[in-house]
Amino acid sequence: MKKKLYLVLIILLSWLTVPFIGKRDFKRFYPAAIFMCLYVLIEGFIAEKNKWWTIKERLLPKLSGELPLILGPFFAGSIWILKLTYGRPLLYILLNSVVDAFFAYPFYTWFKKIGIWRLLRFTQLKLFMLFMMKSIFMYVFHMAFVDKKILSAAVGGFRNYFNKFRMNEREERG
C-alpha cells in the first residue's frame, strides 16, 4: 500500500508543476510529450517481454507498470525541458543528461530499494543511454512534426529543386 502511495504522489507532484508551464507553452509542447509517452508505453511492453526490467508494483494490476512514471514525471518533465531549452540544442542535451542521469542512478536506486522496479538485462548505464536517445528523438519529433522546421525546410528544398528543373526544361523547349 505504501508503494502505491509513492506512485500516486509521483504523479500528483509532477502535475502540480504543470500550471506554472503556462498555457501557450503547454499547448506548444504537449504533442511531443504525448507522442513520447506513447512511445515509452510501447517500449515498456517490449522491455518487460525481453526482461530488460520488471516493475513489481502497479497502480492497477492490468495497467502497465510504467504508467505512473509516464503520466507523471515523464509527461510533465518533457514539457518543462522543452519549454526551458527548445531552440538551444546544447542546453537541451545538457539538461536532459542531468535529468536522465538522476533518473537512471539515484531515482532507480531508490525504486529498487523500496521494491517497485528492478533492472534485469539492462544496466543503469544502458538505461541512461536509452533515456538520452529518447530525448534526442523527442526534440527531433517536435522540430519535424510540431514546429515543422525540418519538414518545411525539406519541402522548400524539394520545391526549389523541382521549380528549377521545370524552368530548365521550359528553357530547353522554348
3-state secondary structure string across 50-92 = CCCEEECCCCCCCCCCCHHHHHHHHHHHHHHHHHHHCCCHHHH
Task: Output the CA–CA distances (angstroms, integers) from residue 51 to 88, 106, 120, in the order listed.
Answer: 36, 21, 6
- pLDDT bin (cut points 50, 70, 90) of residue 15 is very high
Alpha carbon distance 129, 161 (integer Å)? 38
| Structural domain span for residue 120 | 2-173
Mean pLDDT value across residues 21-41: 94
Q: Which three cell numbers stand for residue 73?
A: 514525471
Mean pLDDT value across residues 94-117: 95
pTM: 0.82
The 10s digit of each residue's pLDDT in 132-162 is 999 999 999 998 887 776 555 555 665 666 6
Using the 8-state DSSP alphabet, how is residue 123 labeled?
-
At CB < 8 A and 24+ separation, what contacts does 126-135 make? 127/53, 127/103, 128/100, 128/101, 128/104, 131/96, 131/100, 131/103, 131/104, 132/93, 132/96, 132/97, 132/100, 134/36, 134/39, 134/40, 135/81, 135/92, 135/93, 135/96, 135/100
CB count within 10 Å of CB 92 equals 19
55, β-bridge pairs: 117
Alpha carbon distance 126, 65 (integer Å)? 19
Alpha carbon distance 1, 59 (integer Å)? 10
So what's the pLDDT on residue 158?
Answer: 59
Mean pLDDT of the chain: 89
| Domain count within the chain | 1
- Stretch among 21-25, 73-77, 99-103, 165-169 having the lowest mean pLDDT: 165-169
Q: Are 16 and 36 in contact (CB under 8 A)?
A: no
So what's the pLDDT on residue 57?
Answer: 84
Mean pLDDT value across residues 19-42: 95
